[in-house]
Amino acid sequence: MNNLTWPFASIGWVTSIIQRASASQERINEFLNQPAEIVNPSKEAFEFNGDIEFKNVSYTYSDSNITAIKDLSFTIKKGETLAFVGKTGSGKSTILRLILRQVDPSNGHINIDAAPLTGINIEAFRNQSGIVPQEVTLFSDSIANNISFGTHSDEIDHEQIVAMAKLAHVDHNIQEFPDRYETLLGERGVNLSGGQKQRLSIARALIRDPKLLLLDDCFSALDSETEEIILSNLKKVQKNRTTIIVSHRISSLRNADRIIVLDHGQMAEHGSHDDLLALNGIYAEMYTAQLAESKEN
């Protein structure tokens, strides 16, 4: 009887676990079986040359009916750096989602190299793009593997990882760890500062050698000196690379070829840094306010 007690108790315990696992799997399957809103329309090879065009693009979120982008038109040529600036909720990040076709516009058209975005191989296009998001996602793995994540790791050697870390101005921080690039990060990079996380994310985007680089307010946790070093390093490797910068900080985008000021999803002003200051409008007001704030700090 003593020998049979534990096996019988285990049967009941295992049965309970199986039932709970079955219920959980049903919920997971509901999520996995949801059809994708964006379906890749083509499997043909696609080579991104660098041109992007928005034609009277508007986007309204279906769940909230908030119109994030209103009748926006602009073009970007190969090798140019275009920046978007505006207050929170002005639609800056939505533009990047539209470019990568995470969502489709409610109205208007987006062209990539003169071809409709809805008709090209979106997977091939995304594979030639590198994005640094606002929220950095790091994994419980080595620093080297976190930087090379998203690439064919067998094609990436250690020297390339170090080179990208130097461009992102994070190599000197990594060298301070006992295991350097083999240092294991905690979940979501808990053993790194906010600025170090952002710089690792920049290195991750650069190691893909993208033809399109999207920077989504990725300097928010950096001091002005570090930001200037990274921007200077990026400028050295920007040849023939189309770059889009989204930020609410003027310092992050003042060297862009063109700057578009967004106000409630619409283009309020556009031009170079000097042109916009001369207008003495929204951009000049933001610049003055941020300059005064930096002096106080």
pLDDT at position 154: 66
Closest by CA position to 56, among listed 117, 106, 113: 106
Helices of type H across 35-170:
92-99, 122-127, 143-147, 158-167
pLDDT of residue 111: 92
Q: From the CA atom positions of the chain, what is the Rg in Å?
A: 23
Query: What pLDDT score does 238 carry?
Result: 76
- Assess if residue 19 is contained within a domain: no
Helix (H, G, I), strand (E, B) or coil at 243: strand
Tokens at residue 99, please?
């470019």
CATH of the domain at 150: 3.40.50.300
The whole-number pLDDT of residue 297 equals: 58
Distance CA(243)–CA(261), nearest Å, equals: 17
Could you tell me which residues come within 8 angstroms of residue 167 by beta carbon, excluding any fewer than 6 positions away? 202, 203, 206, 230, 233, 234, 237
Angle made by CA atoms 18, 20, 24, in degrees to the nearest 5:
115
Please check whether residue 227 is in contact with residue 252, taking contact to mean a CB–CB distance below 8 angstroms. Answer: yes
Q: What is the pLDDT of residue 68?
A: 87
166 lies in which domain range? Answer: 134-209
Strands of 174-232, DSSP E: 212-216
Q: pTM of the full predicted structure?
A: 0.80
CA distance 148 to 156: 7
Adjacent-strand bridge partners of 130: 213
In a domain, 198, yes or no: yes
Question: What residues of the chain score a pLDDT lower than 50?
Answer: none
Phi/psi-derived region of residue 76, left when phi > 0, alpha when psi is between -120 and 50, beta in every other case = beta
Q: Tell me if 200 is assigned to some domain.
A: yes
Residue 256 lies in a domain: no
DSSP-derived 3-state class of residue 217 = coil
Instruction: DSSP letter for 67, please.
Output: E
Asked whether residue 25 is domain-assigned, the answer is: no
What element of type H or E holds 60?
strand 52-60
Give domain status of residue 44, yes or no: no
Instruction: Identify the CA nearest to 216 among candidates 123, 61, 92, 39.
Output: 92
**Residue 7 domain flag:** no
Q: How far apart are CA 213 and CA 91, in angstroms?
A: 19
Which run of H or E residues covers position 58? strand 52-60
Number of domains in the chain: 1
Tell me how far apart the alpha carbons of residues 106 and 112 are, in angstroms, rounded to a whole number: 18
- The strand pairing partners of 170, in sequence order, are none
What does the pLDDT look like over 138-187, one tens digit per residue? 888 888 888 888 776 667 788 888 888 888 888 888 888 888 888 888 77
Residue 79 three-state SS: coil
Q: What's the token pair of residue 48?
A: 């991104």
Using CA atoms, how far apart are residues 235 and 200, in angstroms rounded to an integer?
18
Segment 98-121, tens digit of pLDDT = 999 888 888 999 999 888 888 889
